[in-house]
Structure 1
């Protein structure tokens, strides 16, 4: 069984890094983007393609419509951590997992107890005024009507990386450092098609690269172990 192999690899490792994508949160009922049931394949009749509505230029030119879409389709306040989040938090508590590197913006890793979480694409829980840089939490965004404004009058922007925006280089370099030093890398819940984040896997130099995903990825042939399935179910099994 592949899960038995995974369990042994984890047992033999002491410097594990996890890199995850939207598939980590689908078991918490947060839709992913590119699967058949994902946001980009939604049957809803959006006025614009979701990719356009989540772009920097759309945020600037259609701010009200951006926030309508953002509040309704990007925020899932009732979502709770699933087995994958809790398993990773436990591995960190045991001293085996050194960092979670995530493309998700939902904050579920921290809610499950993970401490070293590198959020490559930011977080819906952080928002800031583009004029005076004052911080605002998620409640302020959700309770605002139309376009959220700062008390100084400035426009408030979610601290999430939109299309056309670059990743935070300090965060990216920190992720690369963790990966380079890892003796095991677990990649889960990501199609590994979104760059530059997907390119991080190339910095891993060890011989324990594990890919866990519901479907094939472009890096399957490079992996030392590939497991297809729901990541929460798989990680729960190896910790039982």
Structure 2
């Protein structure tokens, strides 16, 4: 099966939100599992990651990633990394370096100021987005010469509101900080609420002054044949789950 790579016309640098299609993994990981932190076979994950690197036209060691911890921390990357530092976003102005983010319901966000030759990639779950990882990525890109009004940001496949049920304490954590965030919640069953993660991400990006922001409108939870989903795996009682990869390079 061929790789399936979703792209956006808003991003002119080479990029892709890879689906699970075209990978070597099997079983619960069937497809293009690129998660080195999963319990999938390491050699199979390496095959999958090499296919991604080839598709992006870079050596495998130039497919750069970080140890994601749901933080607002951003790493400036200038070349291959010998270790994966803890962070949840990266920026670079170095041609030939491919920034990669792993997700399985959280938002993968790819950024570019094509005129300045600066790109970024961020992993934004609810905690990272709430704590400012998107704004921190924009700040780090500006430090490399990007202009905020020239930056395009695209949110890739992530969990949609219809599938993201949360409890009252989650709702209160947002609305106690900012009552405006009520707009991102809809009523669910009993005391449950439905949280709109991609709309929240778009709101944060636009409020920060980004030139263009969009979501690809793909829900990881609702398309099991295309996407991995932590929440879907949890509901099914499965032991582990695959990770999708999203990549951008100059």
- Do they fold alike, i.e. is TM over 0.5? no
Higher helix proportion = 1
Higher strand proportion = 2
- TM-score, normalized by length of structure 1? 0.30
